[in-house]
Amino acid sequence: MASIRLKFRAHSDNTKEGALYFQVIHDRVVKQIKTDYRIYEYEWDKQESDIVRGFSLSGIRDEALKVIRDKVAWKRRTLEHVIKSLESDGKTYCADDIIKRYKAIAADQTTVFEYIKRQSERMKKLGRVRTGETYRQTLRSFMKFRKGVDLYFDMLDADIVEQYESYMRANSLSRNTTSFYMRILRCIYNRAVEDGLTQQTDPFKRVYTGVDKTAKRAISLKEIKRIKELDLTDKPDLNYARDLFLFSFYTRGMSFIDLAYLRKRDLSNGYITYIRKKTRQQLTIRWERSMQEIIDKYPQNPTQYLLPIITHQDGTERKQYLNKILFVNRKLKQIARLAKIPTPLTMYVSRHSWASIAKSKNVPLSVISEGMGHDNEETTRIYLASIQTNQIDDVNSRILKEL
């Protein structure tokens, strides 16, 4: 069977880096495979025929040597895989066959960074814009952890994944946030396995990928009333954020993305009918006077959209929505302080509060479906699909009359 050895060729000037290469020996024939990796002579362990470990000249150089070790280890594993594959074929092969097959595999490899970018673009083309954005978000986080150093999927092992989790926790990310990135990365990894870019080694088996119960994110009806009664006449930005928060509450906790894309034509014959972006479920809500009062406060939106969130239809709609939700959530923090509400106020609090208040009034669980607070979105969808719309509207009217 063929053997593989890592070799080092020193530079004639010992102040300069020398080259690393592989030596492949089969049937006494010796072949060389060049690498792009270079180290100094004092970073080479002659006795072990390997890169020196535990070397500490500077933190930056240590990182560089670690990256080189990882890439060299991947190339060695690839060569070993090639040799095993040729052996299992049961046919006679030579050193040149090893080199040829290895180069074909190396040329066909897609890096992790490149693959995530490609999948992000693919999601956007399929109309799954939010998924594409989460892929990009995960890529930015993972690239930061890797200090911009790319890798192949065969190099993505349990150790790297654990180190990534530790890195995120060291940067004060919560378990739910680290789990979010891990689930996205695992999804991408599994797709790479399906695409034949690597073999399944379950590198995520030792990291947390669950969802912790989050802290209370609902506020009481009294607190909603305090927000509504704040005098924000001289604070138009806060007034705007308050209006969107209340409009969401009035519409049974409509999510911000659905508020942004709510069209004028979705309001007809005293009802709003729209398709939820997240679940693709159709919802119908009875139009109430409190909703109309907010609409009347603002000039008519020149676009097809009902609320003054997306105000230009020029290809930047998604960017406008993202900028507005960041802006509104910032302003809601100020509103919470003015209303003396200890709960960190965001648009999601409106959604969660409606469900919580409805539940506190002994509204049947099947009517609100634990709604907007179920861990399982599919269960929520099934509950909502099985009840009469007017039951939910009656519940909503009862809540709004108390404001």
> What does the buried/exposed string (b/e) look like for 264-274 if buried means 16 or more CB atoms within 10 Å of the residue's CB?
eebbeeeebeb
Average pLDDT, the chain: 87
> pLDDT band at residue 56, thresholds of 50, 70 and 90?
low
pLDDT digits (tens, 9 = 90+) for 155-164: 899 999 999 9
pLDDT at site 321:
94
Contacts 24+ apart (CB under 8 A), 393-401: 393/285, 393/286, 395/358, 395/361, 395/363, 395/367, 395/368, 396/250, 396/252, 396/285, 396/286, 396/288, 396/354, 397/286, 397/288, 398/361, 399/221, 399/354, 399/357, 399/358, 399/361, 400/250, 400/288, 400/290
The pLDDT of residue 279 is above 80: no
8 A C-beta contact, residue 176 and residue 212: yes
The reply to whether the predicted model has a pTM over 0.85 is no
8 A C-beta contact, residue 85 and residue 76: no
pLDDT digits (tens, 9 = 90+) for 325-342: 999 999 999 999 999 999
8 A C-beta contact, residue 387 and residue 366: yes
CA distance 39 to 297: 68
C-alpha dihedral, 297 to 298 to 304 to 309, nearest 10°: -100
C-alpha dihedral, 329 to 403 to 273 to 331, nearest 10°: -10
